[in-house]
Structure 1
Amino acid sequence: MAANTHTLDLPAVGRPGAIGMPTHHKLIFLGFLALALVAPYVLYPVFLMKVLCFALFACAFNLLLGFGGLLSFGHAAYFGSASYVSAHAAKVWGLTPELSILTGTLAAAVLGLAIGSLAIRRQGIYFAMVTLAFAQMVFFFSVQAPFTGGEDGIQSVPRGHLFGLISMAPDRNLYFFVLAVVFAGLLIIYRIIHSPFGQVLKAIRDNEPRSVSLGYRVDRYKLAVFVLSAALAGLAGATKAIVFQLASLTDVYWTMSGEVVLMTLLGGMGTVFGPIVGAAIIVAMQNYLATFGAWVTVIQGVIFVISVLLFREGIIGVLSKWLKKPL
């Protein structure tokens, strides 16, 4: 009876077809890739790279919140710390862009492991507050640490040569590299979500006491998804530092954590493609409404309120319900 109970509660684990990608998901990924390959010839590549970096950041956060059920108010810590480490590695250590990004990602993963191992001991709002507290500690460290440059940040970060061969100075060269990094990150997140590990995460999110009663070591799963989310957020932050040739306090400030929550909720929490749409909308508003100055924040707030009222599951969440297909 116990063995059958696992199958009933976690329907996708260990069954044929649990791993295969649905046709409509394949078409969406192919459409996204085709659109992304054409986009730099129509739009400004640096703007597109910013969208890609924040799309990956939002998807990494959604992995933790939407599928792990853990609300973190401190994800800027991993995004920003990876940005600083990547920029320092490229400028001071002279590493190539791919090694700089990898170094930043590893730093974010280590930080995520340290913070996550303490934060997962609490639940709900207490977990969220613990993550926020640690993120503020990272922010104040970034203000005081000598290698971060304080309020000036790390500027004039060299883009370098990919594998020591291909110059990343031209925007389009760097764009296609960033696209490859982000697309690989999105595929990794998709694979995590649709793996047996991902199905257990959903079970923990929906009914943690039931998962414990089935014998799952819930804390280990929580810590694993926390570290994975931190590492992928770090990948986004490290890539952004190379793109803008800058790592600043903005990347580790609490408002960055708020932005990624907004992107995730706007696009659709717990959906695969929702955070991408949410990130694209928020970054586009920041870019094209910049002439309004401080009013951009107010406009964002109004749009967010309207979206919450009209699209309670997020834009993609509502679309998924209309189409009756998971997106």
Structure 2
Amino acid sequence: MSSKSSTLAASRSSIKLALGLLALAFLLAAPFFVYPIFLMKLLCFALFACAFNVLLGYTGLLSFGHATFFGAAAYFTAYVVKEWGFPPELGILTGVVGAAFLGLIMGLLAIRRQGIYFAMITLALSQMFFFFCLQAEFTQGEDGIQSVPRGHLLGMIDLNQPLAMYYTVAGIFLLGLLFIWRFVHSPFGMILKSIRENETRALSLGYAVARYKLGAFVFSAALAGLAGGMKALVFQFATLTDVSWQMSGEVILMTLLGGIGTMLGPVFGAGIIVALGNYLATTGFPVTIITGVVFMVCVLVFRRGIVGEINASWIGRKLGFNQHS
């Protein structure tokens, strides 16, 4: 029996490795078949959705203000790169640090409440930051920060070349996924899952629940900032759209479509939303209505999200995906 279990586990591992290598090969070859700017936008929003999923899917905290971190990092990165002449890697790092700091401030205020009250506090703080960006001089108001130079990565790689920019974004995306995987599979991540399942029991076991929530909030904010900093360099601008409540709504939609609490669910959800927005923008169809219809269908048919349903299906159980979502 033990030998059979070992063989089954080895078979599952081989299949997962093959699927991972196939996905990596697709990621490397994609810019030769698909418009690179579209792919980079997808990867930026996929990382943003994965960062949000750390908070919602693995900690059970619904934030209505996550666009604050995404947009703030975009502004910080764009400003220091354009006005101070920072290289792109330091610009992105500035955005991540800035987003993490905002996450610390917002987290300290929001985690004192639970459920809808937590969500409403994050929304209120996000709106406050939106109006700050509207009035602040360095953000240039409704015009935003335009013509952001991409520069040279590490002083050597010219990011004005589409392929160089794409592979930089893809590398950062994979690094972000690796950080998230390590985070949720660490002892810290296990405690977060226990808090999500039963916060009262976690408190009774002696865990400092508020500190763990705050840690998850800051980590999620920093990764959202990483996505926002990349977006500012890809599109070479940062605007109020990046910090609007609609952006927070989009990332929630991406995560729910793909499947909360799954590693790759937000990636698939982001792919659906970005693709719909990209390909329907020039057709005259109301994109928001089509997106709403897709969301309703997915909620009715795929209650766990697309990847969540796959994990719970016969195929997912055979491959063990439902055990390592």
Over 3 Å counting, the alpha-carbon distance change for 1:202 and 1:23 in structure 2 is farther
- For 2:312 and 2:103, how far apart are their aligned partners in 1? 34
Give a deviation string over 1:185-244, Cα, whole Å, max 9, x none: 001001111111111000000000000000100000000000000000000000000000
Aligned counterpart for 1:307 among listed residues 293, 298, 301: 298
- For 2:96 and 2:254, how far apart are their aligned partners in 1? 21
> 1:84-99, aligned counterparts within 5 Å?
84-99=75-90
Over 3 Å counting, the alpha-carbon distance change for 1:232 and 1:26 in structure 2 is farther
Q: Identity rate of aligned residues, in percent?
A: 60
Match in the other structure for 1:145: 136
Give a deviation string over 1:72-119, Cα, whole Å, max 9, x none: 000000000000000001100111111100110100000000110110
> 1:149-164, aligned counterparts within 5 Å?
149-164=140-155
Aligned counterpart for 1:81 among listed residues 72, 75, 79: 72
- For 1:145 and 1:33, how far apart are their aligned partners in 2? 42
Match in the other structure for 2:307: 316
Match in the other structure for 1:297: 288
Over 3 Å counting, the alpha-carbon distance change for 1:77 and 1:22 in structure 2 is farther
Over 3 Å counting, the alpha-carbon distance change for 1:196 and 1:27 in structure 2 is farther
| AA matched with 1:258 | G
- For 1:250 and 1:31, how far apart are their aligned partners in 2? 35
- For 1:142 and 1:104, how far apart are their aligned partners in 2? 15
| AA matched with 2:114 | Q
Over 3 Å counting, the alpha-carbon distance change for 1:53 and 1:25 in structure 2 is farther
Task: State the 1:25 CA deviation.
Answer: 4.8
- For 1:92 and 1:210, how far apart are their aligned partners in 2? 50
Over 3 Å counting, the alpha-carbon distance change for 1:149 and 1:294 in structure 2 is farther
- For 1:245 and 1:119, how far apart are their aligned partners in 2? 32
Match in the other structure for 2:30: 39
Q: What secondary structure is seen at the aligned counterpart in 1 of 2:282? A: helix
Match in the other structure for 2:163: 172
Over 3 Å counting, the alpha-carbon distance change for 1:47 and 1:95 in structure 2 is same
Task: State the 1:291 CA deviation.
Answer: 1.9
> 1:159-308, aligned counterparts within 5 Å?
159-293=150-284, 295-308=286-299
> 1:12-27, aligned counterparts within 5 Å?
25-27=16-18
Task: State the 1:31 CA deviation.
Answer: 2.6
Over 3 Å counting, the alpha-carbon distance change for 1:65 and 1:28 in structure 2 is farther
The runs of at least 4 aligned residues of structure 1 exceeding 6 Å deviation read none
Match in the other structure for 1:119: 110
Q: Normalising by structure 2, what TM-score?
A: 0.92
Q: Normalising by structure 1, what TM-score?
A: 0.92
- For 1:151 and 1:47, how far apart are their aligned partners in 2? 24
Gaps of 5+ in 2: 1-11
| AA matched with 1:90 | V
Task: State the 1:166 CA deviation.
Answer: 1.5
- For 2:189 and 2:34, how far apart are their aligned partners in 1? 36
Give a deviation string over 1:273-312, Cα, whole Å, max 9, x none: 1000000110000001112446000000001000100000
TM-align CA RMSD = 1.2
- For 2:87 and 2:252, how far apart are their aligned partners in 1? 32
- For 2:80 and 2:38, how far apart are their aligned partners in 1? 24
Task: State the 1:30 CA deviation.
Answer: 2.7
- For 1:22 and 1:271, how far apart are their aligned partners in 2? 18
Say how many residue pairs are matched: 307
